[in-house]
Amino acid sequence: MNTSTVINPATEDVLRDVELLDIDAVDDAVARAVAAQRRWARLAPAERAGALRAFAAVVDAHIGELAALEVANSGHPIGQAEWEAGHVRDVLTYYAASPERLTGQQIPVAGGIDITFNEPLGVVGIITPWNFPFCIPAWKIAPALVAGNTVVFKPSSDTPHCATLLVELMDQAGFPAGTVNLVTGAGGEVGDAIVDNPDVSVISFTGSSATGKGIAVRAGAKLKRLSLELGGKNAIVVLADADLELATDGIVWSAFGTTGQRCTAASRVIVERSVVGPLLERLEARASRLRLGSGLDAAVDVGPLINAGAVEKVGRYVGIGRNEGELVLGGEAARAGELAHGHFFAPTIFRDVAPMDRIAQEEIFGPVLSVIAVDDYAAAATAVNQTRYGLSSSIFTRDANAAFRAMRDFETGIVYVNAGTTGAETHLPFGGWKETGNGHREAGHAALDTYTEWKSIYVDFSGRLQRAQIDNQA
């Protein structure tokens, strides 16, 4: 049996090993999902919803266990990990109430009525990243299951133990065998095997844009339904009339919460020139006081990067940034004292960055913030949109007209007004434009579209032949 060692990124302590599966194991998991899917889909919607409610209750009873494991496996501070565990419960509760959203439509037609249904697609392949090892799987698994599909689930190799616990809790909740099938292993082998398997009808992937493009090519060759949630290079605009204290709160949390390792993290602050100085003073003061350390310490604000490779990548971009802007704060790995054995990086701020500089364009996925000065709102909106990504954006202003222009002008799937760029509401569609995805949405009722197919039923009660509209032309 091949295994991989998983470590705690805050301490480099070894967690238990995880088994690395192969293509044969994926094929077996898909076969189990196929066998279970018809029975699962034939259950009354209320029964599927009841299973999700039972799962939510089990999660609620294990909030502490889930949070502690997330701290050890991903490095998140304990408060964030507890929020994520509670969010999983809320997601399950939301989708347990979703069967009524699958009722379709009744449309009058000549000679009768047309009835539409949302039918499950079959087996869903779910491939998730490490940075939210409970929430992101829940966003995908819950709507897939309530719609009548079964699941083959591959988590990140960095956080397999969180996925294992999640599936174990599903078993405690009483889900039928084969409903959700966990496969662990490398993306290049196990992930590709899921995408390539002809019995997997839908692929839902969250991760990098480069990997998503590769999956799109493989899935497209088989015309599979594909939902991609990919990268981001999110911007916060601060206009001269903004509440700078509030803006500072939003920027610090969005840039350095979760160590900048989230697709909605703010990595660009686009600010009117007249308030660059006052805003930078506040940002530097606040960011310099952030405490780094193990997430088990409730006083810690910023946890580690996920692994040594992430530290190297962030350091490489800081080197690029030194040639593009002026370093204000941070700029190096943090290894002093208790941080010596973890993958920590100091919160880093650059000023005088140009909109098209590499650190303002490329996704770093770490605690690095670029401050870009502009002359006015029009220049700010242009800078927001001058990137290949389009996930989340924000504007801080007291001007209602400017706020509404931003709602119209910013080319992102999510726009915040007087709030940071991070956040995820259970009932709201989550996703972005351009290279951030392929048009599907996570969360909210819109997520059900990914996992269902329309069926139109024509019922003729006229007693005579009805022709289609195209056949009735003179």
Q: Are residues 246 and 376 in the same domain?
A: yes
Same structural domain, 268 and 362:
yes
Same domain, 14 and 110: yes
Relative orientation angle of helices 78-96 and 135-146, to the nearest 10 degrees: 10
Q: Do the domain assignments include residue 429?
A: no
Question: What total number of domains does the chain contain?
Answer: 2
Residues 172, 270, single domain; the answer is no
Residue 298 and residue 319 share a domain: yes
74 and 216 belong to one structural domain: yes
CA triple 59-62-65, angle to 5 deg: 130
**Residue at 468 is within a domain:** no
Residue at 270 is within a domain: yes
| Cα 322 from Cα 342, distance rounded (Å) | 24
**Phi, psi at 206, each rounded to 5°:** -125, 130
Task: For residues 14 and 69, state if they share a domain.
Answer: yes
Q: Which two tokens stand for residue 379?
A: 């220049």
Residue 23 shares a structural domain with residue 167:
yes
Go through 226-261 and write b for each residue having 16 or more CB atoms within 10 A of its CB, e for each that does not: bbbbbbbbbbbbbbbebebeebbbbbbbbbbbbbbb
Distance of alpha carbon 396 from alpha carbon 394, whole angstroms: 7
Q: Determine, yes or no, domain membership for 128.
A: yes
Residue 453 — φ and ψ, nearest 5°? -125, 140
**Which string of b and e fits 424-438 if b means at least 16 CB within 10 Å?**
bebeebbbbbbbbbe
Task: Give the tens place of pLDDT for each residue, 405-427.
Answer: 999 999 999 999 999 999 778 88
- Cα separation, 232 vs 261, whole angstroms: 11
pLDDT in tens, 129-164: 999 999 999 999 999 999 999 999 999 999 999 999
Q: Which domain covers residue 30, as residue numbers?
A: 3-230+437-458
Q: DSSP states of 71-96 as a string? A: HHHH---HHHHHHHHHHHHHHHHHHH
pLDDT digits 0-9 by tens, 27-65: 999 999 999 999 999 999 889 999 999 999 999 999 999
- Same domain for 224 and 354: no
Over range 319-328, report the average pLDDT. Answer: 98
Spot the catalytic one: 70, 82, 84, 229: 229
Q: CB under 8 Å to 223, separation ≥6 — which residues?
A: none
Whether residues 280 and 142 fall in one domain: no
Neighbour tally for 95: CB within 10 Å = 30
Q: Which of 108-112, 205-209, 231-235 has the lowest mean pLDDT?
A: 108-112
| CATH number assigned to the domain comprising residue 298 | 3.40.309.10
86: its two tokens: 């509670």
Number of helical (H) and strand (E) elements in the chain, helices listed first: 13, 21
Residues 375, 272 contacting (CB under 8 angstroms): yes
For the stretch 366-397, pLDDT in tens is 999 999 999 999 999 999 999 999 999 999 99
Q: Which entry of 82, 84, 162, 263 is annotated as an active-site residue? A: 263
**C-alpha to C-alpha distance for 260 and 286, rounded to whole angstroms:** 16
Q: Which token pair is 105? A: 């439509």
Number of CB atoms found within 10 A of residue 474's CB: 2
Quote the CA–CA distance of 471 and 161 in Å, as a whole number. 59
- Residue 243 and residue 211 share a domain: no
CATH code, 82 = 3.40.605.10
In a domain, 220, yes or no: yes
Residues 393 and 445 in one domain: no
Q: In this structure, what are the phi and psi dihedrals at residue 47, rounded to the nearest 5 degrees?
A: -70, -40
263 is catalytic: yes
